[in-house]
Amino acid sequence: MTDTVSEAREAAAPNKAAAVAPDYRIQREAEAAKALRESLAALGETDPDLLLDMTEGETSLLECIDALLLRMSADKALVVGTEAVIGDLDARKRRVEKRIEFDRGLIEQAMAIAELPKIERPAATLSLASRAPSLRIESEADIPAEFWKAGAPKLERKALTDALKEGRAIPGAVLSNAAPSLTVRTK
């Protein structure tokens, strides 16, 4: 019999050769156990306890299974740990994205207050441009039928926006005040 601790270490080892060895060995040992079972059956022995004892004594199948079980436990721990790290990194990513949006808003606000449409800095060129007004629905029920698609009622937002831009007064819809748009070019 071989040392199960060293086999377990070998099974859990990160290198590819060690990871493949138990896979190959277990197949070889399972074939040996099968041959042993067939030999015992030919002798008329069908006692399952005798078969297990003979398998344990004559092959390393059980040690291979133990090594694979140990590797499975280590891999499960890695999965749990990896999920925790991914969760922490996702939370960090969200915080950093919020900080980027906050900083962007501060720059946009400062440029608007100072009435600076363009600033060239060593890290980036910043430009402030007016956005086109966007559609804001105040009450869908008041919007005329001509702005609804046939079939399942669906609002034709483009046609409605175009009509509002032409100056038509449409009940239930208006164009919003266009907020400035900050462009940051770093290249």
Can you read off the two tokens belonging to residue 85?
């790290």
Can you read off the two tokens belonging to residue 90?
């996702």
- Amino acid 24 reads Y
User: What global pTM score does this model have?
Assistant: 0.47
Q: Within 10 Å of residue 13's Cβ, how many Cβ atoms?
A: 15
Q: How far apart are CA 46 and CA 82, in angstroms?
A: 46
Tell me, what's the pLDDT at 19? Answer: 47
47 alpha carbon, distance to own chain's centre: 51
Tell me, what's the pLDDT at 120? Answer: 93
Per-domain residue ranges for the chain?
4-78, 118-185
Task: Tell me: pLDDT of 18 over 50.
Answer: no
| CB distance 76 to 14 below 8 Å | no
Task: Tell me: pLDDT of 1 over 90.
Answer: no
Q: How far apart are CA 104 and CA 182, in angstroms?
A: 8
Task: Tell me: pLDDT of 31 over 70.
Answer: yes
Q: How far apart are CA 158 and CA 41, in angstroms?
A: 80
| pLDDT category of residue 5 using cuts at 50, 70 and 90 | very low
* Residues 100-141 pLDDT 10s: 999 999 999 999 999 999 999 999 999 998 878 888 888 888
Can you read off the two tokens belonging to residue 30?
């399972």
Tell me, what's the pLDDT at 15? Answer: 46
Report in angstroms the alpha-carbon separations of 146 from 51, 57, 61, 69, 152: 83, 86, 77, 68, 14
Mean pLDDT of 73-82: 94
The residue with tokens 């721990």 is 77
Q: Within 10 Å of residue 59's Cβ, how many Cβ atoms?
A: 20
